[in-house]
Structure 1
Amino acid sequence: MGIFKKKNDLYLSDKQPLTLVGKIGLLLSYIVLIIWSYAILWPLFQMVVSAFNGEQGKNLMLNGNFEFSFKHFEYLFNETLYLRWVANTIFIAITTAILTLIIVSFTGFAYSRYRFKGRKASLMTIMLIQTIPAFAGITAYFTMHSIISSVVPSFSRQMMLILIYSGGGIAGNTFILKGYLDSISTELDDAAKIDGCSNMKVYRLIIMPIARPMLAIIALWSFIGPFMDYLLPKVLLTSPESYTLAAGLFTLVNNERSLNQPAFAAGGLLTAVPIVIMFIVLQKQLVSGLSKGSVKG
């Protein structure tokens, strides 16, 4: 009985009660988090209100009357090239994600499972490439486009943008996927090879199903990139018909003739829809990828 009584006097966890300094620190942490949340949520709230406020004119009025209306969305669809911008962005985003996934899955697998000459040097090069901003090579991009388009006349500036996004994402994502694959035991590879699997079958049947969560994250990052980037599309794409969403919507706030800030807010709100859909689709892969691939048979 004495032993049980002594155990009952122990805390349920190893954590000691907070001291006065600990309580003050916890309070300050909550205050910082609340301020940070307010700084993020307040602009989003204003964007949603402005997008549906029929009382808004061409300029945003944060402290005005509110009348629920879809007129800013109607302006966006009827008076601008918004649908064309959406189609351009989705095409670029999907193509970029597919190209990045195909190349990164092979390069990540190769760096993780093979030992070859120049492996460490190339990995260091990949790390150093990440320190160079994409915009720094704008002159080289124009030169490359001129050379390729002279050989392939149908090569458009949008395709050049896809190559830039894919090429820029391959280096960092290869390093990330390589680190993830390094955590997967090579005993699975050996067991599959004993059963007669080739290296390609090991890659396709063993490694890729296990790596599906990381591949889903890479796909999501690659898909979001073209939606968020403004600078490169604005420089490389010369006609409004070829603009992406970021470049197209910016014409609603930087041009006096097409100025419509509430429509810009409505467009920004709708921009999140494809990203949310993509996240919902890939969320299933994040869960299912953890339970498949490592079971033999």
Structure 2
Amino acid sequence: MSIFKKKSDLYLSDRQPLTFLGKVSLGLVYFVLISWSVIVIWPLYQMVVSAFNGRQQQYLIMNDAFEFSLRHFDYLFNNTLYLSWVKNTIFIASSTAILTLIMVSFTGFAYSRYRFKGRKASLMAIMLIQTIPAFAGITAYFTMHSVISSVFPYLTRQMMLILIYAGTGIAGNTFILKGYIDSISTELDDAARIDGCSDIKVYRLIIMPIARPMLAIIALWSFIGPFMDFLMPRVLLTTPSSYTLAAGLFTLINDFRTLNQPAFAAGGLLTAVPIVALFIILQKQLVSGLAKGAVKG
């Protein structure tokens, strides 16, 4: 015990004490971190309090006395189309995430492991596509839906929204996944081919298990997008029953006939539940993906 104590004392004595400038810098760092925490936590706190405060009426009153109540949630479920908005959003978000994952897993693997004509040009095109915001093509999306729906009448506006989200997400996520797969040694591919694996087996048994952490992140990003986006659903979806959560909840604060700001706070609080649940589910994949793929290689 005395040996460890002496080593500890020696280590502590070797540390140089902070200078006046170092103390000021450390104080500034703590000040910035605490200020940023307050900026992030304070609106969330107000949202939670307002959602459960029975004294709130149509408008949010920050200094109103608190009385615990679930009346705003009751209004949300019984007097609005909230359940339809949730169903629509989960359907669009899940479909977008699945479609994006399927396409990105193939395109990322192809761009990383194969050399073909037009590869560099298409990668540059992918980078340029990311500089164009999705809402810049709203007029074109309307025209495309009108033309396509005349040929395929079963293509609804929600399906069109899924294709838009997936199409815009595939480009950027392909570039990200390609960079991740580039870091995986090609010796694993060669060893698998020597053992008789085809390219599709290399993709399925070697690359994808190792790339699972990045695929989990891409799935989470793709799933969150429809929850957070307001402009595209508000413009493309024409009936309140087809709205997503962002567009539907906005009707509780922009229309005097349906104005209910506390119910809007309650809906915003519940919106986080599916996202947090998916994050908890994918958290295990983020930890276990690397080891599993390396063992299979």
Q: Which residue of structure 2 lines up, in the alignment, with residue 268 of structure 1?
A: 268
The letter of the residue matching 1:82 is: Y
In structure 1, how many angstroms separate the alpha carbons of the residues matched to 2:200 and 2:17?
56
1:190-231 superposed Cα distances (whole Å, 9 cap, x missing partner): 000000000000000000000000000000000000000000
Change (3 A) 1:8 1:54: closer
In structure 1, how many angstroms separate the alpha carbons of the residues matched to 2:145 and 2:56?
43
Q: Which runs of 5+ in 2 are unaligned?
A: 1-6
1:135-174 equivalences under 5 Å are: 135-174=135-174
Query: RMSD between aligned alpha carbons?
Result: 1.7
Q: Please, which moves more after superposition, 17-26 or 245-254?
A: 17-26
SS at match of 1:138: helix
The letter of the residue matching 1:244 is: T
Q: Which residue of structure 2 lines up, in the alignment, with residue 255 of structure 1?
A: 255
Change (3 A) 1:257 1:127: same
In structure 1, how many angstroms separate the alpha carbons of the residues matched to 2:93 and 2:50?
28
Q: TM-score, normalised by structure 1?
A: 0.95
In structure 1, how many angstroms separate the alpha carbons of the residues matched to 2:83 and 2:254?
20
* Identity level (%): 80
Q: Which residue of structure 2 lines up, in the alignment, with residue 110 of structure 1?
A: 110
How far the C-alpha of 1:45 sits from its partner, in A, is 0.2
Q: Which residue of structure 2 lines up, in the alignment, with residue 84 of structure 1?
A: 84
How far the C-alpha of 1:119 sits from its partner, in A, is 0.9
Change (3 A) 1:8 1:47: closer
The count of residues paired between Structure 1 and Structure 2 equals 292
In structure 1, how many angstroms separate the alpha carbons of the residues matched to 2:133 and 2:16?
48
In structure 2, how many angstroms separate the alpha carbons of the residues matched to 1:162 and 1:136?
17
Asked if 1:227 is matched to 2:227, the reply is yes
Q: Which residue of structure 1 lines up, in the alignment, with residue 284 of structure 2?
A: 284
In structure 1, how many angstroms separate the alpha carbons of the residues matched to 2:90 and 2:14?
51
1:55-74 superposed Cα distances (whole Å, 9 cap, x missing partner): 00000010011110000000
How far the C-alpha of 1:148 sits from its partner, in A, is 1.1
Q: Which runs of 5+ in 1 are unaligned?
A: 1-6
1:22-61 superposed Cα distances (whole Å, 9 cap, x missing partner): 1111100110111111011001000000000000000001
In structure 2, how many angstroms separate the alpha carbons of the residues matched to 1:22 and 1:60?
44
In structure 2, how many angstroms separate the alpha carbons of the residues matched to 1:282 and 1:147?
39
Higher helix proportion, which one?
A: 2
Contact 2:205 2:296 in 1 (8 A): no
SS at match of 2:197: coil
1:1-297 equivalences under 5 Å are: 11=11, 16-296=16-296
Q: TM-score, normalised by structure 2?
A: 0.95
In structure 2, how many angstroms separate the alpha carbons of the residues matched to 1:84 and 1:9?
64
1:144-196 superposed Cα distances (whole Å, 9 cap, x missing partner): 10111011111100000000100010111000000000000000000000000
In structure 1, how many angstroms separate the alpha carbons of the residues matched to 2:9 and 2:47?
54
Instruction: After the TM superposition, list the runs of 4 or more consecutive aligned residues in structure 1 that deviate by more than 4 angstroms.
Output: 7-16
SS at match of 1:292: helix
How far the C-alpha of 1:296 sits from its partner, in A, is 3.7
In structure 2, how many angstroms separate the alpha carbons of the residues matched to 1:241 and 1:8?
66
